[in-house]
């Protein structure tokens, strides 16, 4: 899901988005743990300053797709494994694109915002390997922004130019449209981001009204939440992108480096800063959000000047307090199919949660519960799974990420 910088500049008057990250004092950063996540890794899409990934989508296997480009000359799709390894890349003639998502068959649904190449805005369907399969078009005057897929096969497409959401049946035929221009209940103003929640409700980023609106599957208005501002639950320049997790958690970005989380009923959960691997530096020009298997969160945008790509955040664990993992630089040796980590409770309150280890995009250990008094350190031993043993035994040293309550740490594991 995303708000395309390439199309947004020409449509929304007065919106100027900076693309250069600014160093922020660490104390000013809202840690990803505020909404239950911890930074794990990042990788590049392009080092061309004008080639920012416009959208991110993840399939059921954890394969990550990014799409972007330099303007109206087409868009480039790149496919990566869960660890960031490039697997495939192809160019599509249409541009600018509005959004991208993956359907149940693993095919990519990509919205052609303006139809500059085809003559008609619409939704394009591509195979995971990049083969064009089919297309269905919007009506005259409409544009194609955010896309959401329902369990019954219907496709929901935001049309910013008509302030509506258009519904297509599973076969691509047009079903109906709902919304309409305005600021009243059920009305929309330049809707961009869109997703379908697990209960079938349609969640729309009502960009011009600085809010998120929720509708039933048939387009009946249910509720709105959010308003203009820079405080908790507010949006600077409107919601730029949003994504709904499989449990109904809604994450949304605006023109800042914030990612905010809400419950589907509109209750505010918390705010995280899209941190990067550089201490005190946050991502800028956030273009896309996406969830992968295991509720992994991907944030696409500008990581650093001339470094555009995606950052990956994993669940930081459940429980109370904030814990930190300590591990030697030389790595942690596996002994009798077990790994031992030193975990310190750095919060004023006691820490309780679970420790888990991921490598190559997979959880390689059984989760281990711990309870640590405030300020204390404890050794936590975890058992490596059968799949984990296969991963670790392939190389002398394996890079992994250890997650505890409130944080995640990169470590090396020695077989």
- What CA–CA distances, in Å, run from 210 to 8, 180, 183, 192, 245? 15, 16, 10, 11, 21
Q: Does 6 score more than 50 pLDDT?
A: no
pLDDT band at 30 (very low <50, low <70, confident <90, very high): low
Q: For 69-92, how does the pLDDT look when each residue is reduced to its tens digit (9 = 90+)?
A: 754 456 899 999 888 899 999 998
Give the pLDDT mean for 51-68. 92
Give the residue range(s) of CATH 2.120.10.30 domains in the chain. Answer: 5-315
pLDDT band at 29 (very low <50, low <70, confident <90, very high): low
* Cβ burial, residue 152 (10 Å; 0-12/13-18/19+): exposed
pLDDT band at 152 (very low <50, low <70, confident <90, very high): very high
pLDDT band at 193 (very low <50, low <70, confident <90, very high): very high
Q: Does 377 score more than 90 pLDDT?
A: yes
Whether the Cβ atoms of residue 394 and residue 340 lie closer than 8 Å to each other: no
3-state secondary structure the chain: CECCHHHHHHHCCCCCCCCCCCECCHHHCCCHHHHCEEEEEEEEEECCCCCCEEEEEECCCCCEEEEEEEECCEEEEEEECCCCCEEEEEEECCCCEEEEEECCCCCEEEEECCCCCCCCCEEEEECCCCCEEEEEECCCCCCCCCEEECCCCCEEEEECCCCEEEEECCCCCEEEEEECECCCCCCECCCCCEEECCCCCEEEEEHHHCEEEEECCCCCEEEEECEECCCCCEECCCCCEEEECCCCCEEEECCCCEEEEECCCCCEEEEEECECCCCCEECEEEEEEEEEHHHEEEEEEEEECCEEEEEEEEECCCCECCEEEECCCCCEECECCEEEEEEEECCCCCEEEEEEEEECCEECECCEEEEECCCCEEEEEEEECHHHHHHHCCCCEEEEEEEECCEEEEEEEEC
pLDDT at 13: 30
* Six token digits for residue 271: 């705010």
Considering only the top CATH level, what class is 5-315? mainly beta
| Mean of the per-residue pLDDT values of the chain | 87
pLDDT band at 1 (very low <50, low <70, confident <90, very high): very low
**What do you get for the CA distance between the two ends of the chain, in Å?**
40
Give the residue range(s) of CATH 2.60.40.10 domains in the chain. Answer: 323-414
> What gap in Å lies between CA 66 and CA 88, rounded to an integer?
11
Domain 323-414 falls in which CATH fold? Answer: Immunoglobulin-like (2.60.40)
């Amino acid at each position: 899901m995303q708000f395309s910088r390439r199309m947004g500049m020409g449509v929304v008057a007065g919106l100027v988005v900076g693309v250069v990250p600014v160093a922020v004092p660490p104390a000013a950063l809202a840690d990803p743990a505020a909404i239950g996540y911890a930074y794990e890794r990042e990788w590049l899409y392009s080092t061309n300053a004008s080639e920012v990934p416009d959208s991110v989508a993840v399939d059921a296997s954890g394969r990550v797709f990014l799409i972007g480009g330099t303007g109206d000359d087409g868009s480039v799709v790149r496919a990566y494994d869960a660890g960031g390894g490039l697997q495939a890349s192809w160019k599509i003639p249409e541009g600018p694109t509005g959004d991208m998502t993956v359907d149940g068959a693993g095919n990519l649904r990509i919205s052609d915002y303006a139809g500059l190449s085809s003559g008609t805005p619409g939704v394009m369907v591509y195979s995971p390997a990049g083969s064009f399969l089919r297309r269905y078009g919007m009506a005259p005057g409409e544009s194609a922004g955010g896309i959401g897929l329902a369990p019954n096969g219907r496709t929901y497409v935001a049309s910013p130019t008509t302030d509506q959401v258009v519904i297509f049946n599973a076969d691509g035929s047009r079903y109906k449209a709902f919304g309409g221009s305005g600021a009243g209940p059920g009305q929309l103003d330049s809707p961009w981001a869109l997703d379908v929640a697990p209960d079938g409700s349609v969640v729309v980023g009502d960009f011009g009204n600085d809010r998120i609106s929720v509708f039933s599957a048939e387009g009946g208005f249910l509720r709105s939440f959010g308003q203009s501002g820079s405080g908790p639950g507010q949006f600077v320049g409107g919601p730029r992108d949003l994504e709904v997790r499989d449990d109904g958690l809604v994450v949304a970005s605006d023109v800042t480096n914030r990612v905010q989380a809400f419950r589907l009923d509109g209750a505010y959960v918390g705010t995280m800063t899209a941190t990067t691997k550089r201490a005190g530096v946050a991502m800028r020009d956030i273009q896309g959000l996406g969830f992968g298997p295991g509720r992994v969160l991907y944030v696409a945008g500008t990581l650093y000047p001339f470094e555009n790509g995606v950052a990956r955040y994993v669940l930081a664990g459940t429980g109370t307090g904030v814990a930190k993992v300590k591990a030697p630089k030389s790595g942690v040796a596996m002994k009798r199919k077990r790994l031992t980590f030193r975990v310190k409770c750095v919060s004023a309150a006691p820490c309780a949660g679970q420790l888990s280890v991921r490598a190559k995009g997979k959880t390689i250990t059984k989760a281990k519960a711990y309870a640590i008094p405030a300020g204390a350190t404890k050794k936590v031993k975890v058992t490596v799974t059968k799949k984990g043993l296969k991963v670790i035994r392939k190389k002398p040293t394996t890079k992994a990420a250890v997650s505890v309550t409130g944080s995640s740490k990169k470590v090396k594991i020695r077989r």
